[in-house]
Amino acid sequence: MQRYTRRYTLYFRLVIFLFLSINFCLLLFFTTNQNRNSHFSFNKTTNIANRIVLFVRTSHNCQSRLNYLLQSWISRNVLKKSNLYLITDRISTITNLTLLNSFHNVIQTHCPETHNRIDLCCKTAYEFQLFYSLNKIKSNLEWLCRFDDDQYVNLNNLYKYLSQINASKPYYIGRTSINGGLKISNSNRTYSFATYGAGVCFSHALLKQLRPHVNIKILPRNCIKRGLSDDAYIGYLIEFVLNVSLTAINDRFHSHLEKLDKSFRNYSLDDLFHGITFGFSWDRYKLDWLPIIHHLINLINQNQYETANHLWLFLRNYEKEHPENLKDKYDESCISYQRLRNQSIELQMRKNKKIIQHSKKHIRRS
Protein backbone atom coordinates (compact mmCIF):
# COMPACT_ATOMS: atom_id res chain seq x y z
CA MET A 1 0.00 0.00 0.00
CA GLN A 2 2.79 2.40 0.89
CA ARG A 3 4.60 1.49 -2.34
CA TYR A 4 1.44 2.19 -4.32
CA THR A 5 1.00 5.56 -2.58
CA ARG A 6 4.64 6.52 -3.25
CA ARG A 7 4.32 5.53 -6.92
CA TYR A 8 1.08 7.48 -7.22
CA THR A 9 2.72 10.54 -5.63
CA LEU A 10 5.72 10.20 -7.94
CA TYR A 11 3.53 9.90 -11.04
CA PHE A 12 1.46 12.89 -9.89
CA ARG A 13 4.58 15.02 -9.44
CA LEU A 14 5.86 13.93 -12.85
CA VAL A 15 2.57 14.91 -14.52
CA ILE A 16 2.61 18.30 -12.77
CA PHE A 17 6.21 18.82 -13.82
CA LEU A 18 5.43 17.95 -17.47
CA PHE A 19 2.35 20.19 -17.44
CA LEU A 20 4.32 23.17 -16.11
CA SER A 21 7.20 22.53 -18.53
CA ILE A 22 4.85 22.45 -21.53
CA ASN A 23 3.12 25.66 -20.40
CA PHE A 24 6.45 27.36 -19.85
CA CYS A 25 7.63 26.35 -23.34
CA LEU A 26 4.40 27.58 -24.90
CA LEU A 27 4.65 30.88 -23.03
CA LEU A 28 8.26 31.27 -24.13
CA PHE A 29 7.31 30.49 -27.74
CA PHE A 30 4.49 33.05 -27.88
CA THR A 31 6.54 35.69 -26.08
CA THR A 32 9.43 35.21 -28.49
CA ASN A 33 7.09 35.36 -31.47
CA GLN A 34 5.41 38.45 -30.12
CA ASN A 35 8.77 40.14 -29.66
CA ARG A 36 9.76 39.18 -33.18
CA ASN A 37 6.50 40.56 -34.57
CA SER A 38 6.80 43.79 -32.62
CA HIS A 39 10.42 44.09 -33.72
CA PHE A 40 9.38 43.56 -37.33
CA SER A 41 6.60 46.13 -37.00
CA PHE A 42 9.00 48.64 -35.46
CA ASN A 43 11.54 48.11 -38.21
CA LYS A 44 8.83 48.39 -40.81
CA THR A 45 7.78 51.77 -39.44
CA THR A 46 11.36 52.95 -38.97
CA ASN A 47 12.64 51.81 -42.36
CA ILE A 48 9.76 53.51 -44.17
CA ALA A 49 11.74 56.76 -43.82
CA ASN A 50 14.29 55.33 -46.27
CA ARG A 51 11.52 54.57 -48.76
CA ILE A 52 9.94 58.03 -48.76
CA VAL A 53 11.29 61.14 -50.44
CA LEU A 54 10.16 64.43 -48.88
CA PHE A 55 10.05 67.64 -50.94
CA VAL A 56 9.63 71.04 -49.28
CA ARG A 57 8.85 73.85 -51.69
CA THR A 58 10.03 77.38 -50.93
CA SER A 59 11.02 80.58 -52.71
CA HIS A 60 13.94 82.97 -52.34
CA ASN A 61 11.28 85.56 -51.42
CA CYS A 62 10.33 83.47 -48.37
CA GLN A 63 13.69 82.18 -47.18
CA SER A 64 13.24 83.31 -43.56
CA ARG A 65 10.40 80.78 -43.26
CA LEU A 66 13.03 78.08 -43.23
CA ASN A 67 14.08 79.18 -39.74
CA TYR A 68 10.71 78.03 -38.38
CA LEU A 69 11.00 74.67 -40.13
CA LEU A 70 14.48 74.08 -38.70
CA GLN A 71 13.20 75.04 -35.23
CA SER A 72 10.34 72.55 -35.47
CA TRP A 73 9.87 69.41 -37.55
CA ILE A 74 13.02 69.53 -39.71
CA SER A 75 15.64 68.77 -37.07
CA ARG A 76 19.29 67.86 -37.71
CA ASN A 77 18.37 64.25 -37.11
CA VAL A 78 15.64 64.42 -39.77
CA LEU A 79 18.07 66.01 -42.24
CA LYS A 80 20.56 63.18 -41.62
CA LYS A 81 18.17 60.24 -41.69
CA SER A 82 15.54 61.20 -44.26
CA ASN A 83 15.45 61.78 -48.01
CA LEU A 84 14.51 65.46 -47.66
CA TYR A 85 14.98 67.95 -50.49
CA LEU A 86 14.41 71.70 -50.41
CA ILE A 87 13.10 72.99 -53.74
CA THR A 88 13.42 76.70 -54.54
CA ASP A 89 13.14 78.91 -57.61
CA ARG A 90 16.66 80.29 -57.36
CA ILE A 91 19.52 81.19 -55.05
CA SER A 92 20.11 84.92 -55.33
CA THR A 93 22.46 87.54 -53.91
CA ILE A 94 20.00 88.18 -51.07
CA THR A 95 19.85 84.48 -50.15
CA ASN A 96 20.95 83.60 -46.64
CA LEU A 97 23.47 80.91 -47.54
CA THR A 98 24.08 79.93 -43.92
CA LEU A 99 20.39 79.16 -43.55
CA LEU A 100 20.19 77.37 -46.90
CA ASN A 101 23.28 75.29 -46.16
CA SER A 102 21.47 73.80 -43.15
CA PHE A 103 19.65 71.68 -45.73
CA HIS A 104 21.76 68.91 -47.22
CA ASN A 105 19.89 68.83 -50.53
CA VAL A 106 18.85 72.10 -52.21
CA ILE A 107 17.42 72.07 -55.75
CA GLN A 108 17.05 75.18 -57.93
CA THR A 109 14.27 75.02 -60.52
CA HIS A 110 14.86 78.45 -62.12
CA CYS A 111 11.08 78.69 -62.49
CA PRO A 112 9.42 82.14 -62.45
CA GLU A 113 9.41 83.71 -58.98
CA THR A 114 5.78 84.79 -58.85
CA HIS A 115 2.95 82.85 -57.23
CA ASN A 116 1.12 82.56 -60.54
CA ARG A 117 -0.01 79.34 -62.23
CA ILE A 118 2.99 79.09 -64.54
CA ASP A 119 5.37 79.37 -61.58
CA LEU A 120 3.52 76.76 -59.50
CA CYS A 121 3.07 74.33 -62.40
CA CYS A 122 6.74 74.70 -63.36
CA LYS A 123 7.88 73.83 -59.81
CA THR A 124 5.48 70.88 -59.69
CA ALA A 125 6.93 69.50 -62.93
CA TYR A 126 10.44 69.76 -61.45
CA GLU A 127 9.32 67.91 -58.31
CA PHE A 128 8.14 64.94 -60.36
CA GLN A 129 11.26 65.04 -62.53
CA LEU A 130 13.45 65.01 -59.42
CA PHE A 131 11.65 61.95 -58.08
CA TYR A 132 12.17 60.03 -61.33
CA SER A 133 15.86 60.97 -61.32
CA LEU A 134 16.29 59.91 -57.68
CA ASN A 135 14.46 56.66 -58.33
CA LYS A 136 17.19 55.64 -60.77
CA ILE A 137 19.74 55.95 -57.95
CA LYS A 138 17.51 54.79 -55.08
CA SER A 139 15.33 52.03 -56.49
CA ASN A 140 13.72 51.39 -53.08
CA LEU A 141 11.71 54.66 -53.09
CA GLU A 142 8.00 53.95 -52.61
CA TRP A 143 6.50 57.36 -51.85
CA LEU A 144 6.79 60.99 -52.83
CA CYS A 145 5.36 63.42 -50.27
CA ARG A 146 5.54 67.13 -50.98
CA PHE A 147 4.88 70.04 -48.63
CA ASP A 148 5.05 73.83 -48.59
CA ASP A 149 7.38 75.93 -46.45
CA ASP A 150 4.57 77.14 -44.18
CA GLN A 151 3.48 73.68 -43.01
CA TYR A 152 4.14 71.62 -39.93
CA VAL A 153 4.57 67.89 -40.60
CA ASN A 154 4.43 65.22 -37.90
CA LEU A 155 6.82 62.75 -39.54
CA ASN A 156 6.19 59.96 -37.01
CA ASN A 157 2.48 60.00 -37.83
CA LEU A 158 3.22 60.19 -41.56
CA TYR A 159 5.57 57.19 -41.39
CA LYS A 160 3.11 55.13 -39.33
CA TYR A 161 0.28 55.89 -41.74
CA LEU A 162 2.20 55.13 -44.94
CA SER A 163 3.77 51.96 -43.50
CA GLN A 164 0.27 50.44 -43.50
CA ILE A 165 -0.35 51.11 -47.20
CA ASN A 166 0.83 49.10 -50.19
CA ALA A 167 2.79 51.47 -52.44
CA SER A 168 2.64 48.98 -55.32
CA LYS A 169 -0.96 50.13 -55.81
CA PRO A 170 -1.88 53.65 -57.03
CA TYR A 171 -2.53 55.95 -54.08
CA TYR A 172 -3.18 59.71 -54.10
CA ILE A 173 -3.37 60.87 -50.47
CA GLY A 174 -4.21 64.27 -49.03
CA ARG A 175 -6.95 66.69 -48.05
CA THR A 176 -9.92 67.46 -50.28
CA SER A 177 -9.64 71.04 -51.49
CA ILE A 178 -13.20 71.77 -52.63
CA ASN A 179 -16.33 70.11 -51.29
CA GLY A 180 -18.44 68.76 -54.12
CA GLY A 181 -15.53 68.60 -56.55
CA LEU A 182 -14.35 70.78 -59.43
CA LYS A 183 -16.36 70.81 -62.66
CA ILE A 184 -14.56 69.84 -65.86
CA SER A 185 -15.06 72.33 -68.69
CA ASN A 186 -17.28 71.07 -71.54
CA SER A 187 -18.39 68.16 -69.36
CA ASN A 188 -20.89 67.38 -66.62
CA ARG A 189 -18.27 65.44 -64.68
CA THR A 190 -16.50 66.64 -61.57
CA TYR A 191 -13.34 65.53 -59.83
CA SER A 192 -11.69 65.96 -56.44
CA PHE A 193 -8.17 67.12 -55.85
CA ALA A 194 -5.87 67.33 -52.84
CA THR A 195 -4.85 70.84 -51.89
CA TYR A 196 -1.10 71.30 -51.88
CA GLY A 197 -1.64 73.57 -48.85
CA ALA A 198 -2.11 70.45 -46.70
CA GLY A 199 0.60 68.30 -48.25
CA VAL A 200 0.14 65.42 -50.70
CA CYS A 201 1.60 61.90 -51.03
CA PHE A 202 1.85 59.80 -54.20
CA SER A 203 2.62 56.07 -54.25
CA HIS A 204 5.26 54.58 -56.53
CA ALA A 205 2.61 52.83 -58.65
CA LEU A 206 0.75 56.11 -59.23
CA LEU A 207 3.98 57.96 -60.04
CA LYS A 208 4.66 55.40 -62.78
CA GLN A 209 1.25 56.13 -64.32
CA LEU A 210 1.75 59.89 -64.02
CA ARG A 211 5.15 59.98 -65.72
CA PRO A 212 4.00 60.58 -69.34
CA HIS A 213 1.81 63.50 -68.18
CA VAL A 214 4.16 65.45 -65.89
CA ASN A 215 7.14 66.13 -68.14
CA ILE A 216 8.75 69.54 -67.54
CA LYS A 217 7.77 70.70 -71.04
CA ILE A 218 4.26 69.21 -71.01
CA LEU A 219 2.87 69.85 -67.51
CA PRO A 220 3.17 73.68 -67.30
CA ARG A 221 1.75 74.13 -70.80
CA ASN A 222 -1.28 71.88 -70.18
CA CYS A 223 -1.73 73.39 -66.73
CA ILE A 224 -2.14 76.86 -68.25
CA LYS A 225 -4.21 75.54 -71.13
CA ARG A 226 -6.77 74.15 -68.69
CA GLY A 227 -6.63 77.30 -66.56
CA LEU A 228 -5.87 75.35 -63.39
CA SER A 229 -3.47 75.70 -60.49
CA ASP A 230 -0.84 72.99 -60.07
CA ASP A 231 -2.70 70.98 -57.41
CA ALA A 232 -6.00 71.18 -59.28
CA TYR A 233 -4.37 70.03 -62.53
CA ILE A 234 -2.64 67.10 -60.81
CA GLY A 235 -6.04 66.10 -59.39
CA TYR A 236 -7.51 66.30 -62.90
CA LEU A 237 -4.78 64.02 -64.26
CA ILE A 238 -5.14 61.47 -61.48
CA GLU A 239 -8.93 61.30 -61.05
CA PHE A 240 -10.14 62.08 -64.57
CA VAL A 241 -7.37 60.84 -66.87
CA LEU A 242 -5.92 57.96 -64.82
CA ASN A 243 -9.18 57.12 -63.01
CA VAL A 244 -7.56 56.88 -59.56
CA SER A 245 -9.62 58.28 -56.69
CA LEU A 246 -8.27 60.59 -54.02
CA THR A 247 -7.75 58.96 -50.63
CA ALA A 248 -8.93 61.86 -48.50
CA ILE A 249 -7.90 61.93 -44.83
CA ASN A 250 -9.28 65.34 -43.93
CA ASP A 251 -9.10 64.66 -40.21
CA ARG A 252 -5.30 64.35 -40.30
CA PHE A 253 -4.17 66.59 -43.17
CA HIS A 254 -4.92 70.26 -42.44
CA SER A 255 -4.51 73.32 -44.64
CA HIS A 256 -4.71 77.10 -44.41
CA LEU A 257 -8.05 76.92 -46.27
CA GLU A 258 -9.84 75.70 -43.14
CA LYS A 259 -11.91 78.26 -41.26
CA LEU A 260 -10.50 79.22 -37.88
CA ASP A 261 -13.74 78.79 -35.95
CA LYS A 262 -14.26 75.31 -37.40
CA SER A 263 -10.71 74.09 -37.06
CA PHE A 264 -7.73 75.45 -35.17
CA ARG A 265 -9.65 77.26 -32.43
CA ASN A 266 -11.49 74.03 -31.66
CA TYR A 267 -8.63 71.55 -31.99
CA SER A 268 -8.07 69.43 -28.91
CA LEU A 269 -4.58 68.36 -27.95
CA ASP A 270 -5.45 64.91 -29.34
CA ASP A 271 -6.27 66.49 -32.72
CA LEU A 272 -2.90 68.17 -32.60
CA PHE A 273 -1.08 65.00 -31.58
CA HIS A 274 -2.70 62.70 -34.16
CA GLY A 275 -2.56 65.14 -37.08
CA ILE A 276 -0.10 64.59 -39.91
CA THR A 277 0.09 68.10 -41.37
CA PHE A 278 -0.96 71.61 -40.36
CA GLY A 279 -1.00 74.49 -42.83
CA PHE A 280 -0.89 78.13 -41.83
CA SER A 281 -2.22 81.05 -43.85
CA TRP A 282 0.06 84.06 -44.04
CA ASP A 283 -2.77 86.50 -43.30
CA ARG A 284 -3.82 84.76 -40.07
CA TYR A 285 -0.78 83.43 -38.29
CA LYS A 286 2.86 84.13 -37.96
CA LEU A 287 4.95 81.02 -38.41
CA ASP A 288 6.28 81.03 -34.85
CA TRP A 289 3.32 78.72 -34.19
CA LEU A 290 5.29 75.89 -35.81
CA PRO A 291 7.92 75.43 -33.07
CA ILE A 292 5.21 75.87 -30.41
CA ILE A 293 3.23 72.96 -31.87
CA HIS A 294 6.42 70.92 -32.13
CA HIS A 295 7.23 71.49 -28.42
CA LEU A 296 3.68 70.50 -27.42
CA ILE A 297 3.94 67.24 -29.36
CA ASN A 298 7.34 66.56 -27.78
CA LEU A 299 5.83 67.04 -24.31
CA ILE A 300 3.23 64.37 -25.09
CA ASN A 301 5.94 62.03 -26.35
CA GLN A 302 7.72 62.56 -23.01
CA ASN A 303 4.54 61.46 -21.14
CA GLN A 304 3.78 65.02 -19.99
CA TYR A 305 0.27 65.09 -21.44
CA GLU A 306 -1.30 67.11 -18.63
CA THR A 307 1.34 69.85 -18.89
CA ALA A 308 0.98 69.97 -22.66
CA ASN A 309 -2.82 70.13 -22.40
CA HIS A 310 -2.80 73.02 -19.90
CA LEU A 311 -0.39 74.93 -22.12
CA TRP A 312 -2.39 74.19 -25.27
CA LEU A 313 -5.71 75.28 -23.74
CA PHE A 314 -4.14 78.51 -22.53
CA LEU A 315 -2.63 79.32 -25.95
CA ARG A 316 -5.72 78.34 -27.91
CA ASN A 317 -8.16 80.22 -25.67
CA TYR A 318 -5.94 83.30 -25.49
CA GLU A 319 -5.86 83.51 -29.27
CA LYS A 320 -9.62 82.91 -29.39
CA GLU A 321 -10.37 85.64 -26.85
CA HIS A 322 -8.09 88.22 -28.53
CA PRO A 323 -9.29 88.42 -32.15
CA GLU A 324 -7.70 91.87 -32.42
CA ASN A 325 -4.33 90.12 -32.58
CA LEU A 326 -5.32 88.65 -35.94
CA LYS A 327 -6.42 91.90 -37.57
CA ASP A 328 -4.23 93.48 -40.20
CA LYS A 329 -1.67 90.67 -39.99
CA TYR A 330 0.52 89.31 -42.74
CA ASP A 331 3.42 86.93 -43.03
CA GLU A 332 6.55 89.02 -42.59
CA SER A 333 8.68 86.04 -43.63
CA CYS A 334 7.90 86.59 -47.32
CA ILE A 335 9.26 89.65 -49.13
CA SER A 336 6.66 89.17 -51.85
CA TYR A 337 3.84 89.41 -49.30
CA GLN A 338 5.38 92.56 -47.86
CA ARG A 339 5.35 94.08 -51.33
CA LEU A 340 1.73 93.10 -51.86
CA ARG A 341 0.82 94.55 -48.49
CA ASN A 342 2.62 97.83 -49.26
CA GLN A 343 0.86 98.02 -52.62
CA SER A 344 -2.47 97.37 -50.92
CA ILE A 345 -1.80 100.13 -48.36
CA GLU A 346 -0.78 102.58 -51.11
CA LEU A 347 -3.90 101.73 -53.10
CA GLN A 348 -6.11 102.27 -50.06
CA MET A 349 -4.40 105.60 -49.32
CA ARG A 350 -5.07 106.77 -52.89
CA LYS A 351 -8.71 105.78 -52.59
CA ASN A 352 -9.02 107.64 -49.29
CA LYS A 353 -7.33 110.67 -50.84
CA LYS A 354 -9.80 110.69 -53.74
CA ILE A 355 -12.74 110.37 -51.33
CA ILE A 356 -11.46 113.35 -49.29
CA GLN A 357 -10.94 115.44 -52.43
CA HIS A 358 -14.41 114.55 -53.70
CA SER A 359 -15.93 115.47 -50.33
CA LYS A 360 -14.14 118.85 -50.33
CA LYS A 361 -15.46 119.65 -53.84
CA HIS A 362 -18.96 118.70 -52.78
CA ILE A 363 -18.74 121.00 -49.72
CA ARG A 364 -17.53 123.93 -51.83
CA ARG A 365 -20.40 123.53 -54.29
CA SER A 366 -22.95 123.46 -51.54
Domains in the chain: boundaries: 47-333
231: annotated active-site residue:
yes
Confidence of residue 257 (pLDDT cuts 50, 70, 90): confident
> Are 146 and 234 a contacting pair, CB within 8 Å?
no
| Residue that wins the pLDDT comparison between 90 and 2 | 90
pLDDT at 142 exceeding the cut of 50: yes
As a whole-number percent, the residues of the chain with pLDDT over 90 amount to 48
Q: Which residues face 191 on adjacent strands?
A: 182
In this model, does residue 253 exceed pLDDT 50? Answer: yes
Contact 105, 85 (CB under 8 A): yes
User: Is 12 buried (19+), middle (13-18) or exposed (0-12) by CB count in 10 A?
Assistant: exposed
Q: What pLDDT, in 10s, does the model give residues 22-33?
A: 544 444 444 344
Q: pLDDT value at position 166?
A: 96
Report the range of poorest mean pLDDT among 135-144, 241-250, 257-266. Answer: 257-266
47-333 CATH fold = Spore Coat Polysaccharide Biosynthesis Protein SpsA; Chain A (3.90.550)
Q: Which tens digits make up the pLDDT trace of 191-221?
A: 999 999 999 999 999 999 999 999 999 999 9
| Range picked from 262-271, 308-317, 351-360 for highest mean pLDDT | 308-317
Helix/strand/coil (H/E/C) assignment for every residue in the chain: CHHHHHHHHHHHHHHHHHHHHHHHHHHHHHHHHHHHHHHHHHHHHHHHHHHEEEEEECCHHHCCHHHHHHCCCCCHHHHHHCEEEEEECCCCCCCCHHHHCCCCCEEECCCCCCCCHHHHHHHHHHHHHHHHHHHHHCCCCCEEEEEECCEEECHHHHHHHHCCCCCCCCCEEECECCCCCEECCCCCCEECCECHHHCEEEEHHHHHHHHHHCCCCCHHHHHHHHCCCHHHHHHHHHHHHCCCCEEECCCCECCCCCCHHHCHHHCCHHHHHHCCEEECCCCCCCCCHHHHHHHHHHHHHCCCHHHHHHHHHHHHHHHHHCHHHHCCCCCCCCHHHHHHHHHHHHHHHHHHHHHHHHHHHHHHHC
pLDDT tens profile 274-303: 999 998 765 556 788 889 999 999 999 999
From the list 148, 230, 231, 331, the catalytic residue is 231
pLDDT-derived band of residue 361, with 50, 70 and 90 as boundaries? low
Query: Which of these ranges, 22-36, 140-154, 178-192, has the smallest mean pLDDT?
Result: 22-36
Q: Can you tell me the mean pLDDT for 245-259? A: 90
